[in-house]
């Protein structure tokens, strides 16, 4: 009867592992989504800054040199 008990114990140990894997996968997906949102936000800020710098450069080039 001991082998049957061992199998039950192994099944009990596997069940939380599967749950942990699902939690890890969910956490990784959330992390990827968060990182993606941060990257898009940073890209937007950098694009705006680049446009401001380009506009400033164009204005400097248009002013007559003394």
**DSSP symbol at 65:** P
Per-residue pLDDT of the chain (66 residues; tens, 9 = 90+): 456 666 666 555 555 588 899 999 999 999 999 999 999 999 999 999 999 999 999 999 998 765
Task: Write down the pLDDT at residue 51.
Answer: 98
The pLDDT of residue 18 is 83
The half-sphere exposure of 22 on its side-chain side, counting CA atoms within 13 A, is: 6
DSSP for 19-60, written as a single string: HHHHHHHHHHHHHHHHHHHHHHHHHHHHHHHHHHHHHHHHHH
Confirm whether pTM is higher than 0.85: no
What is the token pair recorded at 64?
């007559």
Domain boundaries, the chain: 28-58
User: Quick one: pLDDT at residue 9?
Assistant: 61
Predicted local distance difference test score (pLDDT) of residue 26: 95
């Amino acid at each position: 009867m001991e082998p049957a008990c061992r199998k039950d114990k192994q099944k009990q140990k596997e069940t939380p592992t599967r749950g942990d894997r699902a939690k890890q996968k969910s956490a990784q997906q959330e992390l990827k989504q968060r990182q993606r949102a941060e990257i898009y936000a940073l890209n937007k800020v950098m694009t705006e800054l680049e446009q401001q710098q380009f506009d400033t450069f164009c204005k400097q080039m248009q002013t007559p040199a003394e």
